[in-house]
Amino acid sequence: MLIDAALLADARQRIEAARHILVLTGAGISAESGVPTFRDALTGLWARFDPEELATEEAFRRQPQLVWDWYEHRRELVAAVQPNPGHVAVARLAALRQVTLVTQNVDGLHQRAGSSDVIELHGNLFANKWLDGCGRCEAAPDDGGRPPRCVHCGALMRPGVVWFGEELPRVARYRAEHAAEQCDLCLVVGTSGMVYPAAALPGVARDNGAGVIVINPQPSALDATADLVLQAPAGQCLPMLLPVGAASA
């Protein structure tokens, strides 16, 4: 995809000048790794399923096996793919500037690309927890349950992600909001900007005087908040934004 050279130069200059950059990522940054996004009509995971059927506690209580299997499928998919140049560029940027990396993604690809302090707003695919557990829950070894159950109380194991209507992890949310208030540049990468409270962060940054850059090949709900929109895939665009010499370092 051809990227507007003047916009690219402007974005590079803003990054060069920034002291503290908040990078907010969404599913789009992992698209070039082969992880389907949520809302893209043709490739999104939820093109075949109603999201409300899968990403709520009510849905899990209603159909635990269906929901568990869906997450198992995604765990297998993510385990088989690699971080792409977009993830790597974010990790490299953190070596050159103060970067707070906040992701809505649950795939762990930022960590695998070398980012060490990743604020995960929506949890992680690979961390399970118990639904209504007894406090000393244990899964039976090799019980094969889908989902597994606690041997003591029968509670169901559930994915450690944040479903609609659930509170975000408090420390992650606090750190993300604090960074939005403190940063002087907010780089918004690969999110439709439709899910709150994550989608409010760029507005908080802007209200506190930061510049906002959106990177997304499609229009997003956050374009109106941005000073600059780069209509390009993250894996292509992000490496081009790194300060000179850093892209190949």
| Catalytic residue (choose from 20, 73, 87, 122) | 122
| Residue among 58 and 166 whose Cβ is closer to ligand BJW | 166
Interface positions, 8-37, toward ligand BJW (CB under 6 A): 26-28, 31-32, 37
H helices within the chain, ranges in order?
5-17, 51-54, 57-62, 64-79, 85-93, 109-112, 170-182, 201-207, 234-241
The window from 75-83, 147-155, 157-165, 176-184 that contacts ligand BJW (CB under 6 A) reads 157-165
The answer to whether 145 touches 156, Cβ cutoff 8 Å, is no
Binds ligand BJW (CB under 6 A): choice among 11, 55, 101, 201: 55
Looking up tokens 């974010």 gives 90
Residues numbered 188-247 forming contacts with ligand BJW, rule: CB under 6 A: 190-192, 194-197, 215-218, 220, 233-235
Specify the stretch interacting with ligand BJW by CB under 6 A; choose among 132-140, 156-164, 203-211, 240-248: 156-164
Q: Among residues 92, 89, 160, which one has the least CA distance to residue 120?
A: 160
Enumerate the β-bridge partners of residue 26: none
The span from the CA of 229 to the CA of 188, in Å, is 9
Written as one string, the DSSP assignment of 124-193 is: EEEEEEEES--SS--BPTT---SS-BBTTT-PEEEEEEPPTTSPPPHHHHHHHHHHHHH-SEEEEES--S
Q: Is the CB of 34 or the CB of 154 nearer to ligand BJW?
A: 34
Contact between 110 and ligand BJW (CB under 6 A)? no
* From candidates 164, 207, 208, 224, binder to ligand BJW by CB under 6 A: 164
122 is a catalytic site residue: yes
Residues at the interface with ligand BJW (CB under 6 A): 26-28, 31-32, 37-40, 44, 55, 104, 106, 122, 161-167, 190-192, 194-197, 215-218, 220, 233-235
